[in-house]
Amino acid sequence: MRYPAFPAARPQGSQGGTPRMSTPVRVRFAPSPTGHLHVGGARTALFNWLFARHYRGVFVLRIEDTDLERSQEAYTKAILDGLRWLGLDWDEGPDVGGPHGPYFQSQREDRYRAAIERLLHEGKLYHCFCTAETLEAMRKDQAERKVDIKYDGRCRALDRAEVERRIAAGETFVLRLRRPEREWVEWDDITKGRLSFTSDQLDDLVVVKSDGMPTYNFAVVVDDIDMRITHVIRGEDHISNTPKQILLYRALGAPLPWFAHIPMILGKDRARLSKRHGATSVVEYEKMGYDPEAFRNYLALLGWAPTDHTREILSRDELFAEFTLDRVSSHGAIFDLDKLTWMNAEYIKRFSPATLLAKLRPWLAQIPGFPGGLDEPALVKLAGLYRERLKTYNEILTMADWFFTAPTTYDAKGLEKAAKIGGARGLLNRLLERLRAAPEFAEGPLEALVRSFAEAEGRKFGDVVHLCRLGLSGRTATPGLFEVMAVLGRDRCLARLERFAAVCPT
């Protein structure tokens, strides 16, 4: 499979750096470990991964843990697990390393420090001693006067002596970027087209927090430059961060990467997907019994479509071959659980019984009584019976539990029906006679047996079948009766039917 090189030059705007061209594609997914992998994040990761694989580039994973308060190590693992579950692999990142590590921002302080010193030296940063209270008051005042809410630059002009004095006095401070005035900040977004802002709309953004840690916007830029990121693919909620970051690229004298802001994933009310819309983290879908490949396939189609959009079931390699950013849509997409579920069922139907059994094992193991004496071939057969009935793996728990523990109660509606046909118990006992004598307990012969039995009895075939089904499973709906009987085997079938005959309507 050959993929084209990323189409190169874009018309370059008046300001800003020049994008690297025709160098190998390098993209990254940069989650912060403050929670589990969210479906929005998962799709961003997926698009980056697909983009990298399509162009035979490099996919980097970087952990953005500069928020000491909220970051937790356990979440880093959770996110990695989520990505692995989806089948994504990264070429550089935590646990695999790479030439541009470390891949945890908390371990890259020397990088930030070097950049800070340079910028400080060049007079591009300044110390700001404003406290949270001061800033809050300032914003409140601005809100009342209905003017733009942004930092008014009151610490911009502090002279060196005062700065040193206040630092010596132990005042805490942040470092802010001196924002240029009346400059265009523009870029050609791959998915949104040309986007432009002016520097006056921007703030003197904080680059270093009072705890000494770099802020998100600063760390991202330093790292993306260091890691030679060529394409920044992220959610469109980052659009407004982009001009700030571009200012940083300029201050650092670095070329701009390409930017591609992909639309958000929304809940039914068209607001960004959140917990109140239902499951939002990828592990929850795993627990609900979704297959990772189906989930990934569904996610890929959320905001993107292949050239031939009539094909929706796409393998990993087909996604690699097909995925390009120009086919990403520009508006948000509602996460549709029904369609995901449909797609999951499509995947299940495509598995061989043996494969499906392997996927089902963790769930089957939770069923009381499992394996209930069923041997491997019977289990494979059982998986085959549910291949076209399961929508999610966890459904096996409630659909097939009776295979492993004989029923003790029988569906009320089923009993009513059994009563209605009259003489059910006698019928069952006569059938039992025949079954005991059946030479072969296999699907075809069993069906032939029951058919001729029904005929001999002057009964409707269906009535006999329903009666047996109820006796074997306690239910009115199961896979085909004779397939079920073959899976259960003669002994279990006879035992269950005998037991049922004892309580069955006469």
Partner RNA sequence: GGCCCCAUGGUGUAACCGGCUAACACGCAGCCCUCUCAAGGCUGAGAGCGCGGGUUCGAGUCCCGCUGGGGCUACCA
Which residues within the stretch 63-82 sit at the binding site for RNA (CB under 7 A)?
A: 64-67, 70
Q: Residue 235: which residues within 8 A CB-CB, separation 6 or more?
A: 40, 44, 261, 262, 263, 264
φ, ψ dihedrals at 345, nearest 5°:
-65, -35
Whether 359 is catalytic: no
Closest to RNA by CB, 116 or 206: 206
Helix (H, G, I), strand (E, B) or coil at 33: coil
Taking residues 104 to 143 in sequence order and writing x for each that binds RNA by CB under 7 A, - otherwise, the string is -x------------------------xxx--x---x----
Considering Cα of 294, then 391, then 283, then 263, what sign does the dihedral take?
Answer: positive
Which residues are registered as beta bridge partners of 281? 38
Q: Which of 31, 257, 471, 474 binds RNA (CB under 7 A)?
A: 31
Unique residue bearing structure tokens 């069952």: 428
* Closest separation in Å from C-beta 386 to RNA: 8
Q: Which of 482, 486, 487, 496 binds RNA (CB under 7 A)?
A: 482
* Closest separation in Å from C-beta 111 to RNA: 15
Q: Which of 77, 275, 287, 413 is catalytic?
A: 275
| Residue 469 burial by Cβ neighbours in a 10 Å radius (0-12, 13-18, 19+) | buried
Contact set for RNA, span 336-395 (CB under 7 A): 336, 338-339, 342, 345, 349, 388-389
Contact set for RNA, span 402-441 (CB under 7 A): none
Window contacting RNA (CB under 7 A); options: 89-97, 334-342, 355-363, 371-379: 334-342
Window contacting RNA (CB under 7 A); options: 58-66, 74-82, 85-93, 424-432: 58-66
Q: Which of 110, 159, 181, 269 binds RNA (CB under 7 A)?
A: 269
Tokens standing for residue 437:
């004598």
Q: What value does the CA radius of gyration of the chain take, rounded to a whole number of Å?
A: 32
CB of 27 within 8 A of CB of 58?
yes
Which residues are registered as beta bridge partners of 334? 266
Q: Which of 175, 240, 188 is nearest to 16 (CA)?
A: 188
- Other CB atoms closer than 10 Å to residue 236's CB: what's the count? 18
- Other CB atoms closer than 10 Å to residue 483's CB: what's the count? 18
Verify binding: residue 310, RNA, rule CB under 7 A. Answer: yes
* Closest separation in Å from C-beta 251 to RNA: 17
Using CB under 7 A as the binding criterion, the count of chain residues that bind RNA stands at 86
Closest to RNA by CB, 139 or 228: 139
* Closest separation in Å from C-beta 331 to RNA: 3
Q: Which of 177, 233, 248, 266 binds RNA (CB under 7 A)?
A: 266
* Closest separation in Å from C-beta 186 to RNA: 10
Verify binding: residue 480, RNA, rule CB under 7 A. Answer: yes
| Long-range pairs, 417-421, Cβ under 8 A, ≥24 | 417/466, 417/476, 418/466, 418/467, 418/470, 418/504, 418/505, 419/505, 421/459, 421/463, 421/467
Closest to RNA by CB, 21 or 150: 150
Q: Which of 73, 148, 317, 440 binds RNA (CB under 7 A)?
A: 148
Q: Which of 72, 107, 172, 506 binds RNA (CB under 7 A)?
A: 172
Closest to RNA by CB, 6 or 482: 482
Contact set for RNA, span 174-233 (CB under 7 A): 174, 192-193, 195, 197, 201, 203, 206, 209-211, 213, 215-217
- Give the separation between CA 234 and CA 31, rounded to whole angstroms: 10
Verify binding: residue 478, RNA, rule CB under 7 A. Answer: yes
- Give the separation between CA 502 and CA 279, rounded to whole angstroms: 46
Closest to RNA by CB, 21 or 203: 203
Helix (H, G, I), strand (E, B) or coil at 61: strand
Contact set for RNA, span 227-246 (CB under 7 A): 236-241
Catalytic residues, by residue number, are: 275
